[in-house]
Structure 1
């Protein structure tokens, strides 16, 4: 079967149709009170970046609700860097290309809050003192100057049944984390040792301390 590829914006519009005026004009350049409330309630977001060469990264970020985002003003927010694997793919992209996109989730909600803007990395600033979690101050933050913000509808979540526990089967087709690590990341380590490493009470010890 041959493929029919879409190569122009006109072809795409012919296939999908044009957005309604309401959809086209729903973006805004600054936070409203309801946006601030959403950010305060969100414990998780995805930060999308791209390098100067167009190499992309989408990195999950999570903290307790109320600690994920620090609002500096109506057009500026900050995300803390917490201990991870130190690849810093998204941050390296920001150094080359400041354009970022973020999607903020609230568990159980189908709609999301989306923010697009320009980011810079800040290693020292007074506001970092206000981003302490579990006694640990972040070593840096991504400060995002908001260019557009809008709510996104919940159709993707409805289609996927993401928040429906009866559909959850986390290890039905995909082996548990320790087995994946042994197969593709940590050759030579036993599954038993990796199970111990990834045991929640052990793994949590490194969430905020390096």
Structure 2
């Protein structure tokens, strides 16, 4: 590790100046367009966790320039992120918008709230969320497009055929060392769709 960091030049003034301590109109507009974000939290002893979050565009609501509300939808019920926030309130979000190569990164502290405590409608797919993370923003900035450009994430020509990877029933069966086979992926996906 010694000297490896010396290989990097200092960040430009623009890169340093783009970090703001609130959600301005551009952050708000980006969040309103975003149907997908990642939530990063850490346990009390510092072990990190990253969780995918999704919904209709704008599923995360900006409450004001310093707070946003992230609804918690039905998932696998591990609630790792919520346990982490209860022990260590630091959190980060990364918002993506299909077709836009820049991403928005937001950092702050989070607290768990009941949806009825907020004066905003977070109903989606006909359901109120089980809980809401209210994130108090301390830093926000747009990340340049290079990583999305390199990945070709939004390029339809680079979309992977589903057949290139094992069916999830096989993956879960192997990971969990199941002796009884799971239903096929179409049946599992149908069940997931009913729980959105």
Residue of structure 2 in register with 1:90 after alignment: 81
Counterpart pick for 1:29 among 9, 21, 34: 21
Q: Is the 8 A contact 1:69 1:78 kept in 2?
A: yes
Residue of structure 2 in register with 1:112 after alignment: 103
What runs of 5+ residues in structure 2 fail to find an aligned partner? none
User: TM-score, normalised on structure 2?
Assistant: 0.92
Task: Within 5 Å, give how 1:104-143 maps onto structure 2.
Answer: 104-127=95-118, 130-143=121-134
Give aligned pairs, total. Answer: 196
Counterpart pick for 1:177 among 168, 174, 177: 168
Task: Within 5 Å, give how 1:1-210 maps onto structure 2.
Answer: 5-6=1-2, 11=3, 13-66=5-58, 68-127=59-118, 130-171=121-162, 173-185=164-176, 187-191=178-182, 193-199=183-189, 201-207=190-196
Query: Following the alignment from structure 2 to structure 1, what is the Cα–Cα distance between the partners of residues 109 and 76?
Result: 24
Q: Is the 8 A contact 2:70 2:134 kept in 1?
A: yes
Q: Is the 8 A contact 2:115 2:129 kept in 1?
A: no
Report deviation, 1:126: 3.8
Query: Following the alignment from structure 2 to structure 1, what is the Cα–Cα distance between the partners of residues 132 and 36?
Result: 16
Report deviation, 1:149: 0.6
**Greater share of strand:** 2
Query: Following the alignment from structure 1 to structure 2, what is the Cα–Cα distance between the partners of residues 170 and 117?
Result: 37
Report deviation, 1:140: 0.5
Over aligned residues, Cα RMSD in angstroms? 1.8
Q: Is the 8 A contact 2:60 2:68 kept in 1?
A: yes
What runs of 5+ residues in structure 1 fail to find an aligned partner? none
User: TM-score, normalised on structure 1?
Assistant: 0.86
Q: Secondary structure at the match of 2:184?
A: helix
After TM superposition, the runs of 4+ consecutive aligned structure 1 residues lying more than 3 A away are 170-173
Change (3 A) 1:77 1:179: same
Report deviation, 1:198: 2.1
Higher deviation after alignment, 84-93 or 172-181: 172-181
